[in-house]
Structure 1
């Protein structure tokens, strides 16, 4: 089978430019319908688009006929854009710019995008918040180890890790919303969490499940840590996530054609 291709691009933003990589499904799997299934991959606080987790996920999605877009939030990876008024506002603006690009005439799939958001840790929180604030723009979510509340995540902790200053400068406030409890319910959410998550206790996943609307699914991985470093746990999460997006973003006719 032909391997999916990846193309490096730059997405304009209100504060600079967002470096991104687009993974194109191989020609034999690309849909011929009027819409294309597209998954935007949102990394965590100290991560970036080139982490093995996101590279593997993007490739797995492309192998199932879905487009995948990895990008760097401000202060992460190759994104040197200036920050906004707060951490949350900055990342929401980044995500809105990527979504707007995916819906614009510049989109490489050349037709309407049926979009999903794959978010890990803070990226999962931002994915849920964005979907709640802008209903209808995203059709499905998959959240890995996502915090339901951001208070106390250590933005101003002492001692302050050196790598945190680049992704969250000390003078930058957290911003709002900082919890999902009071947000509108978001439908079509897959929630994945490990029981041994050392950074975000798995009861945060329970809160997401309580807040989300149907259809929603909860996958609890016994013994898995925050980063899903165990290969078996990550493989289970990846398979479930790709299957979830495939079922939500591909039309019934396309799904029937692709086993």
Structure 2
């Protein structure tokens, strides 16, 4: 079951889709059943649909496996109101937290099993959000941006950035990007913030990613390993591009993530989160 909803975040109205678990219940008892929820954060000038419907297919697969899933459009993207990037990354973090507010107001959501899945720039936003908001318990990062300013300017081109600084805005694929957006990219450093998150992390990256280097995956894992709490696993998908286009890559990123989440869930249920 899927519902199209609107989530208020300041003056922005964020378009979103909520997926309920298809199976009805996970533990054989539907009375007072609590479900884990996956919140999907899309990338730079993307949408909650994803390239080649990546996020739609992922959400439906996870719902079939007993997860609630909430995918949304950032302000100015997809069907949401507002101008993209007008408040910089700070606004995107605030919008993500507004979506968390909505998700945790749902009676059947387990507040101890909140998973934030971010792709590309959404991966960086997911890390920055989790560093501030302890309600996020698990991170899934698909081809995450590591150096927001360098990585996004690498996508838009240096000329677009210079035009924004000189003229107050630049047009990129119909999106009007202003200096405040680029300034916010330079201000936020995911590598410096990730140690504030103590939960488990799953990294997925493709070897044929020409937008965000696959090397970031290894560097991210190394830094996550340096934390005193939380495990970090990775999956490198051979010949997958940045958006995991193509049937095989798409199937792998969705299924590898599903299997990891189910494994983590099983482990926590068996150990009841005990630590030695």
TM-score, with normalisation over the residues of structure 2?
A: 0.80
Q: Which moved more, 1:192-201 or 1:236-245?
A: 236-245
- Contact 1:29/1:64, CA 8 A, preserved across alignment: no
Q: Partners in 1 of 2:85 and 2:258 — Cα distance?
A: 33
Does the alignment pair 1:211 with 2:220? no
| Structure 2 runs not aligned, ≥5 long | 162-169, 271-276
DSSP 3-state at the match of 2:62: helix
Does the alignment pair 1:25 with 2:21? yes
DSSP 3-state at the match of 1:229: coil
* Corresponding residue pairs, total: 245
Q: Partners in 2 of 1:233 and 1:137 — Cα distance?
A: 31
Q: Which moved more, 1:30-39 or 1:118-127?
A: 30-39
| Structure 1 runs not aligned, ≥5 long | 254-259
1:116-138 deviation line (CA, Å, top 9, x unaligned): 0111111111111111122x311
RMSD: 2.5
1:145 alignment partner in structure 2: 143
Q: Which moved more, 1:52-61 or 1:235-244?
A: 235-244
Q: Partners in 1 of 2:180 and 2:149 — Cα distance?
A: 14
**Aligned match for 1:192, one of 204, 208, 213:** 204
For residue 90 of structure 1, report the CA deviation from its aligned partner.
1.4
**Aligned match for 1:169, one of 177, 180, 184:** 177
1:98 alignment partner in structure 2: 99
2:132 alignment partner in structure 1: 133
1:16 alignment partner in structure 2: 12
For residue 149 of structure 1, report the CA deviation from its aligned partner.
1.0
For residue 71 of structure 1, report the CA deviation from its aligned partner.
0.3
Determine which structure has greater relative contact order: mean sequence separation of CA pairs < 8 Å that are 6+ residues apart, divided by chain length. Answer: 1
For residue 111 of structure 1, report the CA deviation from its aligned partner.
6.0
Q: Mark the structure with the bigger radius of gyration.
A: 2
| Structure 1 pair 24–30 and aligned structure 2 pair: CA distance change class (3 A) | farther
DSSP 3-state at the match of 2:4: strand
TM-score, with normalisation over the residues of structure 1?
A: 0.84
For residue 162 of structure 1, report the CA deviation from its aligned partner.
4.9
